[in-house]
Amino acid sequence: MSQDLKDYFQLGAWGVAIIGGLIAAFKAVAEMRRSNEQRREDMRWKQAEMAKKCIDEIFSNANTRAALRMLDWTGSIYAKPDNTKTGRITHESRRLALRTKDPTSLPGNDSPLIRDAYEEHRQVLRTDDPIFLPGDDGPFIRDAYDQLFDEFERLEHFIRIKLILFEDVRQRLSYYIDKLALQEERAAIQPFLQEYGFTLAQDFLTRFPVWTGATSQNTSHPTKEPKHLT
């Protein structure tokens, strides 16, 4: 066999090796891409699953469900954790309960006995924080919104670390954020958030255009008739 023929065979072998190497490399890249795509799909599924779990917990918890319902209904009665029931909670009484400072006298009550008891509580406790007389539904209302805003804080944290995506929780909560963003509601809610350090909850709310004023806040919903909760 001549040297030229040997050289041709050698070049052919190298060509086959190079082509085989390229094919193997392309297959490896394609496989890596498929693997990465599968991981992305798995991660996206887990994000959606976690978001659903968080939302389900908000709507299944008695306190957070009550807080949302109070935005939607006026004059309803709610079950308390101690198995008693509230009085009728109106929008006005709810907003008053979420005040961050007490007024100098009990608003809307001309009873001397009630006023004296209220002032006695203020003097004994020596605090500017809201004071509620025995039987007042204020603590129940505040506990409900404390827990709701704690849940908003958790959602915002999870979004930041990419455990969930905002788009997976937006739809279920948009109706209630629209309610919170109404001028009369925001006047009570925003000072409460600021006073008690719900920073992440405020950041979560700013993800909704209605909260940042990008859309009209004048949209109102008809007030529903009172309904008892069992």
| pLDDT tens, residue by residue, 176-194 | 999 999 999 999 999 999 9
Shared domain for 96 and 183, answered yes or no, is: yes
Phi-psi map region of 99: left, alpha, beta (phi>0 left; psi -120 to 50 alpha): beta
Residue 62: pLDDT above 90? yes
- In-domain check, residue 222: no
Mean pLDDT of 147-153: 97
What values do phi and psi take at 73, rounded to 5? -125, 145
Mean pLDDT of 21-28: 71
pLDDT band at 80 (very low <50, low <70, confident <90, very high): very high
pLDDT, one tens digit per residue, over 193-223 is 999 999 999 999 999 999 988 444 444 444 4
186: tokens are: 């925001």
Q: Which residue has the higher pLDDT, 190 or 13?
A: 190
Residue 29: pLDDT above 50? yes
Shared domain for 100 and 35, answered yes or no, is: no
| Domain count of the fold of the chain | 2
- In-domain check, residue 86: yes
- In-domain check, residue 55: no
Shared domain for 35 and 108, answered yes or no, is: no
Shared domain for 36 and 65, answered yes or no, is: no
Query: Residue 160: which of 206, 200, 208 has the closest Cα?
Result: 200
Shared domain for 18 and 88, answered yes or no, is: no
d(CA 189, CA 90): 15
Residue 15: pLDDT above 80? no
Shared domain for 174 and 103, answered yes or no, is: yes
Asked whether the beta carbons of 54 and 164 are under 8 A apart, the reply is yes
Shared domain for 20 and 104, answered yes or no, is: no
Instruction: Residue 12: give the domain boundaries.
Output: 1-44
pLDDT, one tens digit per residue, over 95-145 is 999 988 765 444 455 555 555 555 554 444 444 567 787 888 999 999 999
Shared domain for 173 and 90, answered yes or no, is: yes
DSSP state of 182: S
Inter-residue long-range contacts of 199-206, CB under 8 Å, 24+ positions, other chains counted: 199/153, 200/152, 200/153, 200/156, 200/157, 201/149, 201/150, 201/152, 201/153, 201/156, 203/156, 204/152, 204/153, 204/155, 204/156, 204/159, 205/152, 205/177, 205/180, 205/181
The confidence score (pLDDT) of residue 41 equals: 81
The confidence score (pLDDT) of residue 72 equals: 93
Asked whether the beta carbons of 192 and 97 are under 8 A apart, the reply is no
DSSP state of 223: P
- In-domain check, residue 143: yes
Shared domain for 72 and 1, answered yes or no, is: no
- In-domain check, residue 147: yes
- pTM across the whole model: 0.71
Shared domain for 17 and 99, answered yes or no, is: no
The confidence score (pLDDT) of residue 144 equals: 96
The confidence score (pLDDT) of residue 105 equals: 43
Asked whether the beta carbons of 144 and 63 are under 8 A apart, the reply is yes
- In-domain check, residue 228: no
- In-domain check, residue 33: yes
